[in-house]
């Protein structure tokens, strides 16, 4: 039980401002010993932070990592998102049930383990995966589950938490010929826990150069000239985005979007874990260019190792005078702080992210006003992706022309591709923009796993389109994918073979959107639930004639009417999936259709819903 003094101490340590709510709750949940935020605790929090009780309730109810009910010492969060689904997460639930006797939502009698289903954990190259409190474990098999459970049973509660070696960033980088390594050039050579190591690899050289040689306007111009486009998924020109920030002395904020939640995407995690200073340096350059003095990195709460490395890097950078007052002896002041997410995909949307940083439910904001005019604390704010920021030091250091020397005309530079699914090699590969899906699969992914047959790939995460064999030679860049009716998105490439049933796969995607819709606007809130229901009917052989078309219609209404990009997302997977596999979909409408691929997962994974 959490007493008032404990709450008071935590609030004092984290700060009474509403912006600190996430961290206060995170700390208290950890301290609870059973991963619970009890109503009494929350009452204390409301009083200590002088916040309405309803604000706490609404906040806790939004972020899936929190629970007001008692759980257990260890919460096992087993991922069921796309890549893990394809790689057999269903078997993991079965194994856990076998060893622990619990299903999702249940705790073991000894109070040690509580099982939850969760969405993407960002370690998709080692799918299937799960998280035990904050420890990530991948490449799960029944045997490995058994060992892990035994290890946690034997672990003393105070023992340091530890993720498996397979999720270590550098272990998730593909070693293949023909990559164009820029962002990943030093990964594995730079010691991420040492700023000196980073400095030996041209670390902060771009910032020093900019401060010594360039005006803020010139830095902005270089980034504009480079043609760098946002790497979070939308592909908006980064320099142009920065140029929207008004001039003047008002507070301005640089926010790094590290809420990497798009299923199949894990590039930002690896950059933060392996090269945290590169991200900080990119933010510094942005701050210099737009006249901001404060930066925040909003990292999803699941990325404990990335958070630790960033915190360490920030502390070291401050100690070296590379963050704080008068950076590198100049008149430029800039500092960076880490904010954490609490389990909400929608917080990857920049205005939701800002609300979340302010201690609010992660509802997207309508626009205008755009964040550039009124973002964090209603001040001008630019939000860019980790990969985008990490690219800018290289651009400033080597010049726009160097950057444009690879990639396509309208999409210069390299792109981090996150390979997952039925491939011989999964992990991160840095390739020029415009690399074809065939090259990604065959050259870097090492071909289909176990010599299987390619059936389709989803590129860009759950919001991405389905590419069947006919698009294997499509150059993957931002514009050409759009022209082909798909998307590059975050760069996730989830490859599926004949083992994966398209209907089952779409059900998985639509259950994801249902789970992650914020619920604010009508079309997305109701539409996501209805799409999920229709997909469930279809997969369950209970579809009515016309249900396939109804799915398309619902998704289209969501596309037209939703408040943010999230509600506009299902249309792409739904239409591309139906376009490619309409016959299979129709066959699943028959009550007695036999599809071994989906029967394996259906009962296990979806019975509780």
Partner 1 sequence: MPKDAIGPIVQGQGISLTIDGQAVMGNKGQTILEAALAHDIDIPYLCYNPRISKTGACRICLVRVNETMFKTACTEPIAPDMRVVTEDPELTEIRKGILEMLLAEGDHNCLYCDANGACELQNLVMRYDAAMPSGDFPRRHRTIDEASSKGLKRNEDRCVLCGRCVKACAEVQLNNVWQFTGRGGNTHLTSDLDAKIGDSTCVNCGTCAQLCPTGAITLQPVLGRGANWDLKKESSICIYCGVGCKIDFFKNKGGQLVRALGHPDGPNQGHLCVKGRFGFDFIQKPARLSKPLIRENGAFKEATWDEALDFVAARLKEIKAQHGPDAVAALTSAKCTNEDNYLMQKFMRAMVGTNNVDHCARL
**Could you list the residues that contact partner 1 (CB under 8 A)?**
39, 42-43, 46, 52-58, 60-62, 64, 344, 361, 366-368, 514-523, 525-530, 533, 544, 557, 560-563
Within 8 A by CB and 6+ apart from 404, the residues are 226, 227, 412, 413
Please classify residue 205 by burial: count the beta carbons closer than 10 Å to its beta carbon, then call 0-12 exposed, 13-18 middle and 19+ buried: middle
Nearer CB in complex with partner 1: 190/548:
548
User: Which residue shows structure tokens 């699914």?
Assistant: 421
Alpha carbon distance 50, 388 (integer Å) = 38
- Which CB sits closer to partner 1, 316 or 528? 528
d(CA 219, CA 82): 39
State in Å, rounded, how far the first CA of the chain is from the last one.
32
Shortest Å distance, C-beta 545 to partner 1: 13
CB-wise, 317 or 539, nearer to partner 1? 539
Is residue 473 within 8 Å of 466, Cβ to Cβ? no
Closer residue to partner 1 in complex, CB, 286/521? 521
- Least distance (Å) between residue 230 CB and partner 1: 21
Least distance in Å: CB of 345 to partner 1? 10
Nearer to partner 1, 264 or 523 (CB): 523
- CB closer to partner 1 out of 6 and 57: 57
Q: What's the Cα-to-Cα distance from 49 to each of 5, 344, 359, 464, 502, rounded to whole Å?
A: 13, 23, 12, 41, 49
Q: Please, what is the minimum distance in Å from the beta carbon of residue 306 to partner 1?
A: 24
Q: Which is nearer to partner 1, 385 or 528 (CB)?
A: 528
For partner 1, the closer CB: 490 or 511: 511
Q: Among 94, 80, 91, 88, which Cα is nearest to 131's?
A: 80
Instruction: Tell me the closest approach of the beta carbon of residue 229 to partner 1, in angstroms.
Output: 22
* For partner 1, the closer CB: 336 or 564: 564
41 or 601, CB closer to partner 1? 41
**Rounded to an integer, what distance in angstroms lies between the CA atom of residue 59 and that of residue 21?**
9
Task: Give the list of residues 6+ apart from residue 130 with CB closer than 8 angstroms, or none.
Answer: 76, 77, 78, 79, 92, 121, 136, 137, 140
Ranges of H-type helices in 301-424: 304-319, 350-357, 386-398, 400-404
Min. distance of Cβ 609 from partner 1 in angstroms?
10
As measured in angstroms, the least distance from the Cβ of 16 to partner 1 is 17
Closest CA to 356 of 30, 60, 561: 60
Q: How far is the CB of 563 from partner 1 (least distance, A)?
A: 6
Contacts of 480 (CB under 8 A, 6+ apart): 408, 434, 474
Measured from the CB atom, is 259 or 387 closer to partner 1? 259
Distance in angstroms (rounded) separating the CA atoms of residues 432 and 429: 10
Q: What is the DSSP letter of 224?
A: H
Nearest to partner 1 of 43, 168 (CB atom): 43
User: What is the C-alpha separation between 180 and 103, in angstroms, rounded?
Assistant: 45
Least distance CB 232 / partner 1 (angstroms): 22
Provide, rounded to whole angstroms, the least separation between the CB of residue 517 and partner 1.
Answer: 4
Find where tokens 């369950």 sit: 540
3-state class (DSSP) for residue 458: strand
Q: How many residues does the chain have?
A: 609
98 burial type by CB count under 10 A (0-12 exposed, 13-18 middle, 19+ buried): exposed
Q: Tell me which residue of 182, 213, 217, 212 sits closest to 395, measured CA to CA.
A: 182
Shortest gap between Cβ of 566 and partner 1 (angstroms)? 10
Residue 458 C-beta: closest distance to partner 1, Å: 22
């Amino acid at each position: 039980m959490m007493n008032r003094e404990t709450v008071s101490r935590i609030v004092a340590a984290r700060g009474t401002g509403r912006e600190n709510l996430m961290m206060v709750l995170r700390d208290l949940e950890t301290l609870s010993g059973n991963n619970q935020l009890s109503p009494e605790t929350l009452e204390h929090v409301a009083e200590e932070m002088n916040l309405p009780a309803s604000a706490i309730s609404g906040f806790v109810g939004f972020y899936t990592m929190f629970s007001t009910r008692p759980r257990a010492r260890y919460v096992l969060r087993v991922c069921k998102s796309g890549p893990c689904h394809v790689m057999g997460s269903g078997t993991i639930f079965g194994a856990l049930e076998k060893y622990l006797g619990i299903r999702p939502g249940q705790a073991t009698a000894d109070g040690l383990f509580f099982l939850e289903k969760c969405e993407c954990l960002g370690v998709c190259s080692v799918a299937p995966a799960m998280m035990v409190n904050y420890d990530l474990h991948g490449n799960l098999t029944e045997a490995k589950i058994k060992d892990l459970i035994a290890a946690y049973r034997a672990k003393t509660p105070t023992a340091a938490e530890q993720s498996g070696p397979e999720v270590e960033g550098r272990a998730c980088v593909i070693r293949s010929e023909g990559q164009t390594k820029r962002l990943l050039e030093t990964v594995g050579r730079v010691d991420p826990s040492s700023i000196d190591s980073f400095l030996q690899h041209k670390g902060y050289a771009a910032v020093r150069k900019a401060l010594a040689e360039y005006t803020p306007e010139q830095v902005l111009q270089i980034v504009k000239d480079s043609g760098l486009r946002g790497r979070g998924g939308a592909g908006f020109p980064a320099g142009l985005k920065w140029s929207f920030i008004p001039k003047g002395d008002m507070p301005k904020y640089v926010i790094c979007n590290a809420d990497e939640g798009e299923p199949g995407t894990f590039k930002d995690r690896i950059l933060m874990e392996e090269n945290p200073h590169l991200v900080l340096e990119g933010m510094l350059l942005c701050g210099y260019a737009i006249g901001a003095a404060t930066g925040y990195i909003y990292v999803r709460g699941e990325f404990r190792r990335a958070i630790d490395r960033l915190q360490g890097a920030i502390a070291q950078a401050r100690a070296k005078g590379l963050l704080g007052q008068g950076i590198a002896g100049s008149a430029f002041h800039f500092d960076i702080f880490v904010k954490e997410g609490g389990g909400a995909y929608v917080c990857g949307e920049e205005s939701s992210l800002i609300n979340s940083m302010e201690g609010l439910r992660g509802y997207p904001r309508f626009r205008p006003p755009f964040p550039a005019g009124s973002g964090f604390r209603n001040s001008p704010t630019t939000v860019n992706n980790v990969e985008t920021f990490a690219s800018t030091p290289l651009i400033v250091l080597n010049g726009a022309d160097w950057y444009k020397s690879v990639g396509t005309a309208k999409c210069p530079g390299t792109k981090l591709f996150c390979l997952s699914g039925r491939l011989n090699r999964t992990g991160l590969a840095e390739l020029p923009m415009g690399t074809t899906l065939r090259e990604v699969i065959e050259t870097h992914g090492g071909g289909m796993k176990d010599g299987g047959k390619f059936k389709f790939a989803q590129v860009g995460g759950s919001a991405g389109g389905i590419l069947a064999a006919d698009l294997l030679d499509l150059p993957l860049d931002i514009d050409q994918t759009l022209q082909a009716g798909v998307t590059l998105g975050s760069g996730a490439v989830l490859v599926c073979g004949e083992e994966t049933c398209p209907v089952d796969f779409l059900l998985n995607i639509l259950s994801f959107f249902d789970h992650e819709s914020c619920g604010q606007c009508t079309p997305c809130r109701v539409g996501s639930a209805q799409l999920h229901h229709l997909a469930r009917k279809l997969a369950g052989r209970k579809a009515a004639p016309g249900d396939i078309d109804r799915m398309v219609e619902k998704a289209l209404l969501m596309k037209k009417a939703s408040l943010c990009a999230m509600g506009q997302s299902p249309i792409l997977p739904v239409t591309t999936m139906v376009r490619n596999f309409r016959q299979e979909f129709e066959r699943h409408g028959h009550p007695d259709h036999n599809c071994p691929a989906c029967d394996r997962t259906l009962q296990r994974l979806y019975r509780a819903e």
